[in-house]
Structure 1
Amino acid sequence: MGGDGRGATAQDATDPEGASRIALTAAATELLRLLRDQHGPLMFHQSGGCCDGSAPMCYPAGEFRTGSSDVLLARLAVEGVPEPVGFWMSADQFARWRHTHLTVDVVPGRGSGFSLEAPEGVRFLIRSRLFTDEERVRLGD
């Protein structure tokens, strides 16, 4: 069972009332525009594994096969990118982070060689904070 990075095989964890589980910094947005120009449509996956697996990994959309053990946190609208960028997380990690708002950022350094940003000399990382009481209510957590 697999998905295309935008697919229906995983639970969509976005909220219809507009509460956000994930956001992008300006630096992440800029890098995603660059990567989109170089590689076409994109997706993220965060596995929660050891080492680089705990960082968000960026792939061409559909290159990483998602399945029933993955949760779709958002279809991110990125300014200057024509299609949404799916952000997937392993279900086990989502179970631990479900009460946390995530922000994708970029820092100097070398991350995984499998993630598209590696040749740029930067890496994506997650910054997090607990949801407010209002956000938890809107998300049904």
Structure 2
Amino acid sequence: MHKTYVPKETDARWVLIDAEGHTLGRLATQIATLIRGKHRPDFTPNVAMGDFVVVINADKVVLTGNKLDQKVYTRYTGYQGGLKTETARVALGKHPERVIEHAVFGMLPKGRLGRALHTRLKVYSGSQHPHVAQQPVKLEIK
């Protein structure tokens, strides 16, 4: 009699990705795949078993075409007339980490599992990051 193998959430590794020169959407899909764990042969849809992803140089990510001026990020303050908008160019100038996070989080599942996966993404605008102790493996994105 064989026992059924159930993957554990503790089997995660740390991956380092350099976003410099990469297109935002293509980079985000590969990051979402790693965080979700779909690259693993023992992928289970209801378990947060993906990798922790550290993204550096978020300020050097590329948006193609006219997206820098046409892509608009909106948020609502909760007050009347409180709909705030900013273009991708302004957002990349102010907080480039949020641009990558927004793209990746839109590709993750919504609900309890998605909120658990949000903690696995660490984005930094420069080339320095505080996760050296975890010894992340540098991954080359095509």
With CA pairs under 8 Å and 6+ residues apart, which has the higher RCO, 1 or 2?
Answer: 2
TM-score, with structure 2 as normaliser = 0.22
Answer 1 or 2: which has greater helix percent: 2
TM-score, with structure 1 as normaliser = 0.23
